[in-house]
């Protein structure tokens, strides 16, 4: 786990991972040629990996930590023509604070008429000993639907059993292709979201005399570059805020957060 090693060793591993992703994405492939993805096992299996750096980690309008890296590894297996099983591991490793999290997830995606995507699954969160004020793990289920139309709207619901935490999030995304105006592979992605969260506990502990109950909202703009059919890089800026009052369970309540991020993603 990245947050359990020294900072120098971790940064060395991170640099090696980024170099590996870039080399794999460009090796032996002419950029932007429409070819079939390379499958290591069979045509029904897809692998994906990526790494992201962000100046802050903001979720549901609340701050978890400052500068952090987010490695990702996942695979998808087509069970039926319109049904795919997904397994992924997402990691958060703060660069300054003693915060770390590993989140393995398993889910099922069902596509209807190439328009609707139903997504449901389970995530188990493992926290480092210094994260979450003593909370070592939590269990969450989620379900959502996405629509492949203008603005690509989606609606997701999440429930964390350990914190009795329910959240609902709606999101839209608008993509602008800049290949005609600037260069091949370049684009802009604009997104916006709004949601609601309510919970009886925070970090596994009851909230005395109050309830975690607030709205959150945000927007972001990413400049994307499609390296080839295997890889995409992006850099962006985002803003999020929340309607929560100042309580111990929400960092910097009533503040607006602005942060930057950069990432590279590869598909095999």
Give me the mean pLDDT over the 57-66 stretch.
88
Which pLDDT value is given to residue 5?
A: 44
Q: What is the CATH number of the domain that holds 259?
A: 2.40.160.40
Phi, psi of 255, rounded to the nearest 5 degrees: -105, 155
Give me the mean pLDDT over the 240-268 stretch.
79
pLDDT in tens, 132-163: 455 788 999 999 999 999 999 999 999 999 88
List, in order, residues 6 or more apart from 164 with CB less than 8 Å away: 199, 200, 201
Domain count, the chain: 1
Q: Which residue range(s) make up the domain with 135?
A: 2-267
pLDDT band at 57 (very low <50, low <70, confident <90, very high): very high
pLDDT in tens, 174-206: 999 998 778 889 999 999 999 999 988 766 555
Which pLDDT value is given to residue 31?
A: 40
Which pLDDT value is given to residue 267?
A: 87
Which pLDDT value is given to residue 1?
A: 44
By C-alpha distance, which of 121, 52, 123, 136 is closest to 83?
Answer: 121
pLDDT in tens, 13-37: 555 554 555 454 444 444 444 444 4
Instruction: Provide the β-strand partners of residue 51.
Output: 71, 264
Check residues 98 and 198 and name the one with the higher pLDDT: 198
Phi, psi of 11, rounded to the nearest 5 degrees: -65, -35
Give me the mean pLDDT over the 96-121 stretch.
94
**pLDDT above 90 covers what percent of the chain?**
56
pTM confidence score: 0.79
């Amino acid at each position: 786990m990245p947050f359990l090693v020294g900072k120098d060793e971790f940064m060395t591993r991170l640099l090696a991972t980024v170099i590996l992703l870039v080399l794999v994405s460009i090796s032996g492939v002419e950029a932007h040629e429409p070819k079939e993805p390379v499958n290591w096992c069979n045509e029904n299996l897809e692998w994906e990996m990526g790494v992201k750096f962000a100046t802050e980690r903001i979720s549901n309008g609340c701050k978890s930590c400052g500068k952090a890296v987010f490695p990702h590894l996942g695979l998808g297996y087509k069970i039926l023509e319109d049904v795919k099983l997904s397994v992924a591991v997402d990691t958060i490793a703060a660069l300054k604070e003693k915060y770390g999290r590993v989140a393995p997830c398993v889910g099922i995606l069902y596509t209807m008429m190439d328009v609707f995507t139903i997504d449901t699954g389970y995530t188990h969160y493992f926290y480092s000993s210094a994260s979450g004020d003593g909370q070592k793990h939590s269990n969450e289920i989620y379900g959502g639907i996405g629509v492949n139309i203008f603005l690509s709207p989606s609606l997701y619901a999440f429930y964390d059993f350990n914190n009795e935490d329910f959240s609902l999030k709606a999101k839209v995304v608008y993509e602008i292709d800049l290949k005609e105006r600037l260069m091949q592979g370049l684009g802009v992605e604009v997104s916006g979201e709004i949601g609601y969260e309510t919970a009886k506990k925070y970090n596994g502990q009851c909230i005395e005399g109050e309830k975690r109950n607030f709205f959150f909202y945000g927007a972001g703009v990413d400049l994307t570059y499609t390296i080839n059919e295997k890889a995409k890089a992006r850099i962006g800026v985002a803003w999020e805020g929340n309607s929560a009052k100042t309580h111990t369970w929400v960092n910097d309540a009533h503040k607006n957060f602005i942060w930057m991020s950069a990432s590279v993603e590869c598909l095999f």
